[in-house]
Amino acid sequence: MRATFSLGQVAGIRVGVHWSVLVIFVLILLGLAGGNFREAHPDRPLWQYLLASTVTAVFFLLSLLAHEISHALVARRNGVAVDDITLWLLGGLARLKSEASTPGAELRIAGVGPLVSLVLGVLFALVAAAVAGLTDGGLVVEALAWLAGINILLAVFNALPAAPLDGGRLLRAIVWWKTGSPLRATAVATAAGRVLGWGLVGLGLYLVLVGAAFSGIWLVVIGWFIVAVATMEGGQARLRELLSGIPVSDAMTPDPMTVRATTTVSEFLADPRFRYRHSAFPVVDNGSTPAGLVTLKGADAVPEEERASTAVAHVMVRVDDIPTPRPDDPLARLVPQLEASSVHRALVLEEGRLVGIVTSSDISRVTSWLSSSSAWRRRTL
């Protein structure tokens, strides 16, 4: 899930918003202004309903952000780097560069999100009670009460023991701790996720049939999302098991062709060595130190009249934004990093020197070989 536009950084973590957030924002706005608020406090001017609904929707999105920020901060404290946070239609998503190394770290990272939502719900409820006791809060109290309820509901729903919800991560941590097998733990959590997801889809279809079309469709969407993500996570776990014990060096292309950072875009595109062999090439500076990765697509995007004066260094993806494993690093650990990378490639470095490149196609080639090899079949029996 890529952000449509950026909101900047919070605690050093990039925060973005996907365009689908507008959908949930509009739904909350219309639902509160035309429903909850109007029914609770009729005969108010329209602008008051709209203003109260807008402010409430903004605070709801901030609550989602606080939930995801808590995951990111605890992950960082437990040695798991965080790429960014994206708010979207079904909530928020904190992209972690790797997995937790222990069940305890997994438990802390997963558990803090529902806890933060629960705390926010209680705080909103206390403030609503205080405002109602001191003044005739009207729409203010109604908005605070709604925020309290939705945050408590978010905490309870996220605590359900099914992946990809936070409760699924908690279940995974517990099974991992009991069995010592992260793969088995993932299988249990993702199976629970598929059961929950299909259950929500079934409930949603029933609501559609009895006339509650809006609520039913919403449940179908959420259920289908849970099934899809749980299935994907299960597949990723099986892939990590398949690749266990395989080093990065077994998948990399050694000594790849490189481009000097000072090469112009026009020179790069005109050189047949670069134009026809691959779609991306490592960029090195004058000292042969890896500086980044340039893609043909990125170079093609430069206007023709600017290509002769634009160096490849200005259109490359910087090395800091690309996975840079060592040759002896586990290949399984690189897989989620490649998926999270915008270029789906990794530069393999040894003592700061470029020794190879790994692409998603290389991973597929290795997994195909392992899946078909007799050695792998004997290993899994």
What is the per-residue pLDDT across 243-271, written as a single tens digit (0 to 9) for each? 888 999 999 999 899 999 999 999 999 98
Asked if 312 contacts 334 with a C-beta cutoff of 8 angstroms, the reply is: no
CATH code for the structural domain at 248-380: 3.10.580.10
Beta bridge partners of 6: 16
d(CA 286, CA 247): 30
Residue ranges in 9-160 assigned as alpha helix (H): 21-31, 37-40, 46-77, 103-134, 139-158
Identify the top-confidence range among 23-27, 48-52, 133-137, 275-279.
48-52
**pLDDT value of residue 1:** 58
For residues 191-200, average pLDDT: 95
Token pair, residue 303, equals 């206007």
DSSP character at residue 100: -
**pLDDT value of residue 7:** 81
Q: For residue 11, is it left (φ>0), alpha (ψ between -120 and 50) or beta? A: left
CA distances from 245 to 242, 250, 273, 329, 342 (A): 9, 10, 35, 10, 26
Beta bridge partners of 308: none
SS3 sequence of 292-345: EEEEHHHHHCCCHHHHCCCEHHHCCEEHHHCCCCCCCCEHHHHHHHHHHCCCCE
d(CA 6, CA 86): 9
Asked if 118 contacts 127 with a C-beta cutoff of 8 angstroms, the reply is: no
Q: Is 350 a catalytic residue?
A: no
Helix, strand, coil shares of the chain as percentages rounded to 5?
60, 15, 25
Residue with more model confidence, 58 or 34: 58
d(CA 171, CA 183): 13
Q: Active-site residue among 39, 68, 99, 142?
A: 68
Output the known binding site.
67, 71, 166
d(CA 334, CA 325): 7
CA distances from 217 to 36, 156, 207, 221 (A): 20, 21, 8, 6
**pLDDT value of residue 307:** 93
d(CA 140, CA 133): 12
What angle do the packed helices 103-134 and 139-158 form, to 10 degrees?
Answer: 160
- pLDDT tens-digit series, residues 182-193: 888 999 999 999
DSSP character at residue 34: I
352 — pLDDT class (breaks 50, 70, 90): confident
Q: Whose structure tokens read 């259950």? A: 199
Beta bridge partners of 10: 13
**pLDDT value of residue 276:** 66
Whether the per-residue pLDDT at 380 is higher than 70: the answer is no
For residues 297-321, average pLDDT: 93
Domain locations along the chain: 5-159, 178-242, 248-380
Token pair, residue 274, equals 């670069």
Asked if 200 contacts 226 with a C-beta cutoff of 8 angstroms, the reply is: yes
Whether the per-residue pLDDT at 91 is higher than 70: the answer is yes
* Cβ neighbours of 316 (radius 10 Å): 24
Closest CA to 164 of 83, 224, 76: 224
Output the known binding site for Zn(2+).
67, 71, 166
